[in-house]
Structure 1
Amino acid sequence: MAENASETTPGSQSDTPPAADVTERLGYRLKRTAAALRSAMDRALREYGLTVPQYACLELLDQRPGLSNAELARGTFVTRQSMNVVLRGLQDAGLITRPATTDHGRALPAHLSEEGHRRLAAARSAVYAIDQRMSDAVPEQRLAELLADLDRMAAALDG
């Protein structure tokens, strides 16, 4: 064990010299990109009366109708409590339907309403255009490699 603050344990984080400029670190660049994406999506979705978590929820329900609150929370990277708020808002807006009770377990399956399908279709083109703008910034021959690299980084941290 280190006897004073200036000593380090081999392999510890403090063995790595601090970046001369934190903005050159990979994590910072990923966070900056995620923040830019979120900001662009927020602006685009505002026109459709949706938030990013609401839009993500609608996309998941379009692909996999009947998902529960917990499944939607995992799929949209929010807590179950946050997803409860998202689902309540979507239900109040008439974009999803959920039964008052269920015959099995406690999970209430959610489904897109007709209006939910319409709103999602309208918003989807705006969101896909943002994704395309981001993809267009990477040379086409490198995009598949970048996506694979991002998947490997996520897997390394999911450990």
Structure 2
Amino acid sequence: MSQRGIDLTTSLGYLLKEASSTLRASMEAALRPLGMTITHYSCLELLAQRPGLSNSELARGAFVTRQSMNVLLQALERDGYVTRPEEARVGKILPAQLTPLGRSSLEKASAAVRSVEVKMLGGMTQDEQATAFRALQSMVRSLREDQGVSQGDSSEDRRHADK
């Protein structure tokens, strides 16, 4: 009995995974000289755009576990990239804030990541980029709806939709 598989040469899911893996490798290579990982960069970027996020919110935004984010935040705090209050104002939440060193490091990392994205999109027109963005948003929405996960219209979604 033979099993019919997926034709990887025409599978959009496989192509997305390949693109994701290639993008990740390119971003890691761009961030490595700065002493950063993608998760490190993502954490700093999230804090710059949404100061005061909790450990759980940062973990969700960076696609890692809360435990992994907690370890990273402790290291970032120890190394002077972020500060957190010693005691929680409410519950157990210790909201993190970028320090001047964190902002300076983020500026360099953002430029490195932006150069990777510019290279990735180099062969596409603005219209093609906007179409690809909308298509990917639609795919994410469809899969999240299937999982029972709701998705609001984030400011990030609106920013890219306007391009």
State how far apart, in whole Å, the 2-side matches of 1:87 and 1:23 are. Answer: 41
Letter in 1 for 2:75: G
**Equivalent residue number for residue 40 of structure 1:** 26
Structure 1 position 23, deviation (Å): 3.9
**Equivalent residue number for residue 16 of structure 2:** 30
**Equivalent residue number for residue 109 of structure 1:** 95
2:51 counterpart (39, 46, 65)? 65
State how far apart, in whole Å, the 2-side matches of 1:108 and 1:135 are. Answer: 38
Aligned pairs, how many? 145
**Equivalent residue number for residue 5 of structure 2:** 18
Runs of 5+ unmatched residues, structure 1: 7-13
Deviations 1:36-71 (A, max 9, x none): 111111111111111100100100100111110011
Instruction: Pick closer, same or farther for the CA change 1:82–1:133 going to 2, 3 Å.
Output: same
Letter in 2 for 1:80: R
Structure 1 position 121, deviation (Å): 0.7
Per the normalisation by structure 2, the TM-score is 0.83
Instruction: Give aligned-pair identity as a percent.
Output: 44
Structure 1 position 29, deviation (Å): 0.5
| 1:79-90 pair list within 5 angstroms | 79-90=65-76
**Equivalent residue number for residue 91 of structure 1:** 77
Structure 1 position 155, deviation (Å): 0.6
Runs of 5+ unmatched residues, structure 2: 146-163
Structure 1 position 93, deviation (Å): 1.5
Structure 1 position 96, deviation (Å): 0.6
Report which of the two structures shows the higher radius of gyration computed on alpha carbons.
1
Greater mean alpha carbon deviation, residues 26-35 or residues 138-147: 138-147
State how far apart, in whole Å, the 1-side matches of 2:79 and 2:108 are. Answer: 16
Matched, 1:153 2:132: no
